[in-house]
Each structure stands twice: as C-alpha cells, then as structure tokens.
Amino acid sequence: MSLPIYHVANTGNPPKTNIVIFTDLDGTLLDHYTYSCEVVMPLLARLSQAGIAIVFCSSKTRVEQEVYRKKLGIASPFIVEDGGAIFISKGYFSFSYKYHRVTRGYQVIELGVPYREIRRILKEIRENDNLAIRGFGDMDAAQIAELTGLDIAQAKLAKKREYEETLNLTGSEQEIRLILSKIGEAGLGWSRGGRFYSVSGGSNKGRATRILIELFSQKLGRIKTIGVGDSFNDVPMLAEVDVPVLVQKPGSYWEEMKLPNLHRVDGVGPRGWVKAIAELTGI
C-alpha cells in the first residue's frame, strides 16, 4: 500500500496540514469479535495531542458511541446509525450552522427517518407479505447479546435506536432478496454491514460525512480528510474523503468494492487501522 503522508508539527503546535479522520467502529477501530479498542489507544492519544480530529461514523447508537468517546477522550462530532444524525457538542464550532434540536449538550443535525416510522413500515411489510423480518426492536437484550457477542449492558445500549433498524435476516438468498426489494419499494434504504442488514430512510454515511467536511473546513480552513472502513456500508463515507482506506476483515481479506483511489491496507480491523493511520500521518 502506498499512501501519501500528511506531516504534522511537533506535539503542542498546530499541524501543518489540518487532518480530519472519519472512521467506522465495528470491525475497523474496534475488534470484530471483542469490540476492544485497546490496540488503537496509544496512537489515538498521539493523534489527539497533534490536534487531529477523530470522527466516529458508525451504525452504533448515540449511547453506544458515547462509551467509546469517553474511554478514548474524543470530543469531535460523531455520526450515528449509518448517517441518521450528527451529534455536535455545543460550542465545538464557534460559528452558526443549521441543526434541528438540542439534547444532552449536543446540537443535532437529523438526516434520517425516525426509528418508530421505520419500525411501522417494516411491520407492514412483514404482515402484508408474510416475510420473516426480525430486527433489534423484536428482540430483548439477551437475544441481541447472543447474536452479537456484546454483553448485556452493551446490548441494551444497542437497542436504544433513533434512526435505523438492524435486521438479522436468516432466510434463503431468494427470501432475503425479496425482503430487501420490499424494503426498497416502501421507500426505505438498506445496507449490509459486518454482521447484519441496516434499514434507514433518507440518510447514509456519505451525506453526513459531507456535511461535517464542510463544517470542519469552516473551522480549520484547508483540510485533508481520511476515511477508514471495512464493509460495504462504509462506501458512501469513503467516497467523500480525500484518502479512503479499507482494512481487512477476519480471515485477512478485503470487502469487495470498487472505489477510485481506495487504499487496501494489510491488517485486520484495528491493527490495519493503526498501520494505515500511522503511515498517513507520520505519527
């Protein structure tokens, strides 16, 4: 992998190039099986000292992401539920910009359809066409924990969805294609992540990433953006950044995708993340 290196100044000085990193979480910054972020913590600390913003862009809910933001000491805006909304801490951007509501110290830019509406539409599809559609809203925390490998506390946070439903589709390939077709006919979008299908309306990671790039450009001036992902649902985000990076999945292979200038890094999940970002930033 040949990557351009964006040099930064010594710790404590503004970086010569203002870098913003957009990153997926599950299977990318976090281990696919354990959800651990230990591998990336030393590098993240150095990135923070260098003034580099880290933006989570994940299917995880707000409350799930807040756990990792606190653990990693990250204060940047973050994108939840595959672009359903952008949460920005009050005062992070000193200039005025449009947002939809304020909650828990965040100014929220809402891009997706409310979760209850997505659930309503999926229920209609399930009942009208007698299809086996099962989402997190149909499961309790114990069932989600068993499916995902999350502990019960984490599974409870995964259920607190606001803009997107996560589906566990277990039928034949033909049955799954029919379900996805019906979801599209109903006006919703879907994507495939590392484990499940995600259903949303009016949003994706790319749209949210594009909005934040514009805001960061106002805040920082000229910026270079890096995006890191592992799955097909990361393509909209990766398409918006200057340098898109794809880490390997367990088994040491890359998701099949076509994207101009995509850099495929050797390294599964967080190990690939560290390898790519260290090389890109020179930190």
Q: Active-site residues: which are they?
A: 24
- Half-sphere CA count of 130, side-chain side, radius 13 A: 0
Separation CA 6–CA 224 (nearest Å): 8
Say how far apart CA 254 and CA 269 lie, in whole Å.
10
125: left (phi over 0), alpha (psi -120 to 50) or beta: alpha
Cα–Cα separations (whole angstroms), residue 17 to 43, 86, 217, 221, 223: 18, 24, 12, 10, 7
Residue 65 sits at φ, ψ, to 5 deg, of: -70, -35
Cα separation, 246 vs 273, whole angstroms: 9
Within a 10 A sphere around the Cβ of 67, how many other Cβ atoms?
15
